[in-house]
Structure 1
C-alpha cells in the first residue's frame, strides 16, 4: 500500500517538474537557478540520521551509479540558447518523454525491490538515486550555461571603432 502511495507521490513530483521546466523555459536562465535545486535537495540527506533509512555501502554505490546513468538522458536534453540578449533553456519535447520513462522505470524498480528490501532502506536508496541523477545533470547544465554566457559576453563586448 505504501509503495502505491509513494508511486502516486512520484507521479505528482514528475508532473511538477514538467510544469516547472516548461515555465522556466520562458524566463532567462541564471547560474543560481541551476545550482540551487541540488543544494535544496541535499537537505534530504538528513533522513539518514534515522536508522530506518540507512543503506549499505554497496547500496549507496548501486543507487549512485543508476542515478548517474539516468542523468545522461537529462543532460542530453538540457541545452541553452541565446535569445534577446539573454540565455534560455531550450524546450525539448524529448525531456517530457524521458522524464516519464525514468519515472516508469523507477516505479517498476520500486515495486520489484519493495518485496526484498526494507521500505526505509529502499527510500534511502531512491533518494540517493535521485541525488545521483540531479547533481551530474546540474553540473553539466552549469558548465553548458557558462559556455553560452561566455559566448554572449564576448558578442556583446565587441569594441567599436
Structure 2
C-alpha cells in the first residue's frame, strides 16, 4: 500500500507542476495580444464549472474549509496580482501589461500546494485536498479578474485622444 500512496503523491506533484507550467506558458503567450472583456471574464466563468466536482460525495469538504481556502486565495494571492496587473492603451487596442508577479504567484501556489499537501491530507482525503486547492485558486482568480474588468471598463469609457484637427 505505501507504494500506491507514493505513486499517487508523485502523480499529484507531477500534475501540479505540469498544470502550473501550462498556466505560465499560456499567460506569457497571451500578453502580446490585445485584450477584451470576453478574455477577462471567461476564465472565472470557465473555472466556475469546476465547482461541479462537489456533486461527488468523496470530493465534498466542510464549508468552513472552502471559505478559508477562498479567502486565502483572495487575500494572499489575488492582491499582489491586482496591484501589479495594469492595462495599457495602444491606439484603439488595450493590452494587459506584463507582470512578472503572475509567474511568482503561480509558482508560489505550486510551492504552497506541494509543501502543504501532506499537512492538508492529515485532515482531508486526496480528492478533498484537490477541492480545497481548487477553491484557493478560484479565490485568487475571481477578485483579480473582477478588478481587471473594472479597470478595462474605465479605459473603454475614455476613448484614445485624437490628434488636433485644424
User: TM (normalized to structure 2)?
Assistant: 0.86
Cα offset, 1:136, TM superposition: 0.8
Residue 35, structure 1, aligned to residue 41, structure 2:
yes
CA distance in 1, matches of 2:124, 2:22: 28
Displacement of 1:154 in angstroms is 5.4
5+ unaligned residues in a row in structure 2: which ranges? 1-5
What's the counterpart of residue 23 of structure 1?
Answer: 29
Which of 86, 90, 109 is residue 83 of structure 1 equivalent to?
Answer: 90
Alpha-carbon distance in 1 for matches of 2:62, 2:35: 38
Distance 1:62 1:145 in 2: 29
Q: What's 2:128 paired with?
A: 121
Corresponding residue for 1:45? 51
Describe the SS at the equivalent of 2:95. Answer: strand
- SS of residue in 2 equivalent to 1:37: helix
Q: How far does the alpha carbon of each residue in 1:136-158 deviate from its partner, in whole angstroms, 9 at most, with x for none?
A: 1110111111122223x1535x8
Is residue 143 of structure 1 aligned with residue 156 of structure 2? no
The counterpart of 2:61, out of the listed 41, 49, 55, is 55
User: 1:14 is matched with which residue: 2, 20, 36?
Assistant: 20
Displacement, 1:43?
1.3
Report how many aligned residue pairs link the two structures. 159
Aligned CA RMSD, in angstroms, stands at 1.9
